C-alpha cells in the first residue's frame, strides 16, 4: 500500500520528489495547524521542513508526539545543532542535514516506513547479540539467562529496542518511564544505570545501552 506522507513545508521541489517516488502527499503550510493536520489525515510519516518560516520544530514535534507515534523526520540546515538535539529529545525519529541529495531523503523515508511497519504489528522476539526480549511475555534474557527488570527498567528497554540502532531522546525515554510531564533527566540516568547493571557484562563500559551525550541513549545492534 502506498505510504501517506504529511509534508509540513512549502517547498514544491520536495513535494514533487515525494510524488515522483510514489508517495501520497498531503501538504501543511501553516505551522500552527500542522499538529491538528497530522491527527486529521493520519499519515504514515510526517516530514518537517525546518526551513518553513515561523516553524517551531521542537514545539511541533512535541505536540504531535503527545497524540501519535507516527514517525517524524526533520529536514534542516547543518548549523542547527541545538534544534536537532531538541527535536530528537521531543520524540523525532530522524534528522536529515540539508542540503542533501534526493536519494538521502528517500532512503530515510524508507527506513521510517520499515520501522512503522514493525511497530504497527505485534512485536516479535527481539535479538541483539546476547540480549533477547520477548515482548509478549515481557521476558528478557542475556546469553540465555533470565533477567528480572522493574516496570520502569523494562519500559526503557522496550523503547530502546523498538528503535534499536537509533538515538532515543531523553524526553521520549522519560515519557515512557514516568509520563509526558516528566523532565528530570536524573531519574533517567539512575534507571539507565540500574538497567546496565542487569544486562551489561561490564556496566562501567556498556556495550548494549550506549550514551549519546546531550541527546539520549541508543541500543547497539552490532
Burial 104-124 (b: 16+ CB within 10 A, else e): ebeebbebbbebbeeeeeeee
C-beta separation of 180 from 169 below 8 A:
no
Length of the chain: 222
- Residues 59-87, mean pLDDT to the nearest whole number: 80
The residue with greater pLDDT, 66 or 211, is 211
Q: Is the pLDDT of residue 106 over 60?
A: yes
Say if CB 142 and CB 131 are below 8 A apart: yes
Q: How far is Cα 113 from Cα 48, in angstroms, rounded to an integer?
A: 16
d(CA 125, CA 117): 15
3-48 pLDDT, tens per residue? 899 999 888 899 999 999 999 999 988 877 888 888 778 888 999 9
| Grid cell for residue 82 | 541545538
The pLDDT of 159-181, averaged and rounded, is 85
Nearest to 92 by CA among 172, 28, 23: 172
* pLDDT of 190 higher than 90: yes
Range scoring the smallest mean pLDDT among 77-81, 113-117, 211-215: 77-81
Kindly state the cell numbers that stand for 25.
502527499
Cα 100 from Cα 73, distance rounded (Å): 14
Q: What is the pLDDT of residue 73?
A: 92
Q: What phi and psi, each to the nearest 5 degrees, are found at residue 74? A: -105, 135
Q: How far is CA 13 from CA 24, 53, 94, 104, in A?
A: 15, 17, 21, 15
Predicted local confidence at residue 146, as pLDDT: 95
Distance CA(95)–CA(86), nearest Å, equals 11
What pTM, to 2 d.p., does this model score?
0.56
Report helix, strand or coil for 185: helix
Query: CA end-to-end span of the chain, whole Å?
Result: 31
Rg (CA), the chain: 18
Q: How far is CA 24 from CA 15, 34, 50, 95, in A?
A: 10, 17, 21, 21
Domains of the chain, CATH where assigned: 4-120 (3.40.50.2300), 126-219 (1.10.10.10)
Query: In the sheet where 209-212 sits, what is the strand order?
Result: 167-169, 216-219, 209-212
CA dist 209 and 216 (Å) reads 10
Asked if 209 contacts 219 with a C-beta cutoff of 8 angstroms, the reply is yes
Amino acid at each position: 500500500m502506498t505510504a501517506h506522507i504529511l509534508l509540513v513545508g512549502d517547498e514544491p521541489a520536495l513535494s514533487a520528489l515525494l510524488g515522483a517516488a510514489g508517495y501520497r502527499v498531503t501538504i501543511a503550510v501553516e505551522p500552527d495547524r500542522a499538529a491538528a493536520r497530522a491527527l486529521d489525515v493520519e499519515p504514515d510519516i510526517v516530514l518537517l521542513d525546518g526551513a518553513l518560516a515561523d516553524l517551531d520544530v521542537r514545539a511541533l514535534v512535541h505536540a504531535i508526539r503527545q497524540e501519535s507515534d507516527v514517525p517524524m523526520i526533520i529536514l534542516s540546515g547543518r548549523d542547527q545543532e541545538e534544534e536537532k538535539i531538541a527535536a530528537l529529545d521531543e520524540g523525532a525519529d530522524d534528522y536529515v542535514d540539508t542540503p542533501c541529495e534526493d536519494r538521502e531523503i528517500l532512503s530515510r523515508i524508507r527506513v521510517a516506513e520499515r520501522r512503522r511497519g514493525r511497530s504497527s504489528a505485534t512485536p516479535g522476539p527481539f535479538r541483539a547479540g546476547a540480549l533477547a526480549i520477548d515482548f509478549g511475555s515481557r521476558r528478557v534474557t542475556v546469553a540465555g539467562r533470565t533477567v528480572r527488570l522493574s516496570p520502569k527498567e523494562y519500559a526503557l528497554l522496550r523503547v530502546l529496542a523498538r528503535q534499536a540502532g537509533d538515538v532515543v531522546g531523553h524526553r521520549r525515554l522519560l515519557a515512557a518511564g514516568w509520563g509526558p510531564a516528566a523532565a528530570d533527566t536524573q531519574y533517567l540516568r539512575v534507571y539507565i544505570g540500574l538497567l546496565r547493571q542487569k544486562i551489561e557484562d561490564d556496566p562501567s563500559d556498556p556495550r548494549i545501552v550506549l550514551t549519546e551525550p546531550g541527546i539520549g541513549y541508543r541500543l547497539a545492534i552490532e
